[in-house]
Structure 1
């Protein structure tokens, strides 16, 4: 609000301020900085500070100590406090390879602080820290972590102090604004919040028992999710020793060639998504890609069904030909869904995971189901209010005896369990494509894999009642 003189009050999130109660820790960190050079700085609040505590030692020793890391986390710190710390000796003598920054949740805390910041102010405070790091450490790469989710409630008697929902929403919006600071060169942004969630969008009490701070188990999940990006920025080896057999869960970019430029389509999505502000987002492979809608595909097999279903709705098509679950995960981790809050998200993915090629091996139905679940978690994390429709994988192959049929049937049975989660609908329309003997007619899929206009009409008719409630 304007002051009495009509001026906007100063944004205290960008004004360096010494944090009360932590002078001794600050002196200790300044001494450590001046004593030796560190390759990795971890900067933040209590979530980072906790990594110094004994219960978190195993995580620290595995992922951070070998990188000569310095923990610059402070319980209760806000952006203004971090600015003061960094301006007053904590960066002396340093030229680290990477600085990881996780800050902002205390700036939104309307229960424990007299001054509460807006999302825009938190983003400005974070931007000021980034600018300071770039000035003092010009060769250091900065990794901005999205503010972790929080749903903890503070009470005085029976009265809630502040608003847990408002804090959550402020952090969500602030994180979207902070993500714009990334340039893909020296400043990078990473969202690992899905590791703390259950499918219904609530926080996993085993990983975040107080609904604010990760437990040691949660910190391990955080470190593991951050590790692929961190080791790339550090230029060293991956320190995650846990074996991951399921390739459907390991995010990767383009694997296969198709009739379009995969990376160009990704770039086009990033260009148009925010301008479109979609009400509906479709996520999938070529079956989604070649339906219709923006960004425009080189092939559109169902434009009439698309128009009949969506009409004037704003719809974004995130289908990419030949994609598997791991490709979708990579795209979600690289901005395609960031900042979007559609009413509906329609997910149709998994059929390509059953194919072995020179670039990827086939997955089991159980592994593909895990990949679909991981996609749902990422969407939930980025847009908690969106309603999800998970499609059963469509039948493929001309005859019921086709080897793909049994795998698809097993996958759909496993994926149907997602429909028991609030906010998720599982929709299996496969039987509508088949004749009584299980044969798949060419009139619905002329290559026994991709729908024709008539096939897309079946899909559109099945979706119409679910979307009708928004009209």
Structure 2
């Protein structure tokens, strides 16, 4: 008995010490925390606002208490992440594991901006305190950006996030970009993903790197006008209607017109995507079901065809090929397994990229558009991106300048951590409203990501300057790859701002990669007329001189890459001369 008592005492002591070594935050009650993935910012972890109760059917209201699509994003340098949570309902369903129904799912961004899975909970009870992840490597002085997806088919009564004592955890700024709003069925809600992060909506959100709001309501996503009234409160990038699995052909015919009328009354120009139901995975054995499905497709396509001539922002997605023909993509012929979820996400990605103006996926082969976190915490790419999107809402510049740290450190707003050419900037632009769209460490794929995520939207500049490519050379890319990447950016810019004057500057002299730099600049000069931009070589501002027997680039800082004040003065004079002449 004494040994047992001593063992219990030691166990309690160990638990007490472990708790004392953690610090906890409560996102629902914490200042500056944002529960993302929903339209309405109200207490708790529900998806619908209080005013929806009594307006939508009870079944919809109750499903709205489930946290599908909700997520928390935060920065932390902790080597371990803990959760203390309480859930509202049952842990699993006969066809869906507890990890998907009730699990919490953690992802983390790399320094190159990619999101990778970290860990997920394995629920065995509705209340638990668990170590979600440990041994997370990284520089303890440098926080990483995490995304925590909430359960797909359960409600969250309470949630705290624990990190190691002495480390930091801070909420990420909410994404200022318009979200994709999906209104659908159990498939959209997430059945039957093995964990929340592999629901097709979550995969799609990561593929496009855009916010998404999940209004999937299991068997109760039924094209109801009450939901249309709620959806349009969000100014969306695109509305997606994917409700056919819950309706027959007659219901589709009766409901689609009132639903679209209600949406278009408030949001007449917002892109809207109508989606067919995918055939069931065992359809080859049930020909009658395919006949019914054809009738549902015809009812939806008929309304699309009637409207398309007068509604150019209405789009259509075929369902025939979503799940493939191998029969391996569902758990029960209807609800996708993880293979099916990936196929859904890929199909949606192909449909949505043209609508969102994101056709160019890569700048060069295997180098997709992406953000970057190469100098956290001293320099936060994502925070600067949000700052620029917010600035666009208030300030409409005549000039914008896209680039890397060379332009970022020149001057202008939003301010850089270092400014080396303030007087030259003021002399060059002389009171003109300019927004500096340059970021330290940027490469062409990062500029593509920024353009596709709104940095040239909401504004109408008369002049756009593009100065990029020196960091691409440092990766070992060939001159052809770098110049092609820059021309890809030209295409993106002209697509969004066809009336703006566009000047592309050559890569400045630098200590290394001289031969490749000159090759890139030659290609940019040769392509200018055909691609519809002006090419400007700023190299004359940085002549090579000899100092104590060493060749140095005049006008450059000691790193022989970034201009000093003198260099910026010369650079500004050259650009001003070009602008005055043309």
TM-score (norm 1): 0.48
Q: Which has the higher strand share?
A: 2
Structure possessing the higher radius of gyration over alpha carbons: 2
Q: Which has the higher helix share?
A: 1
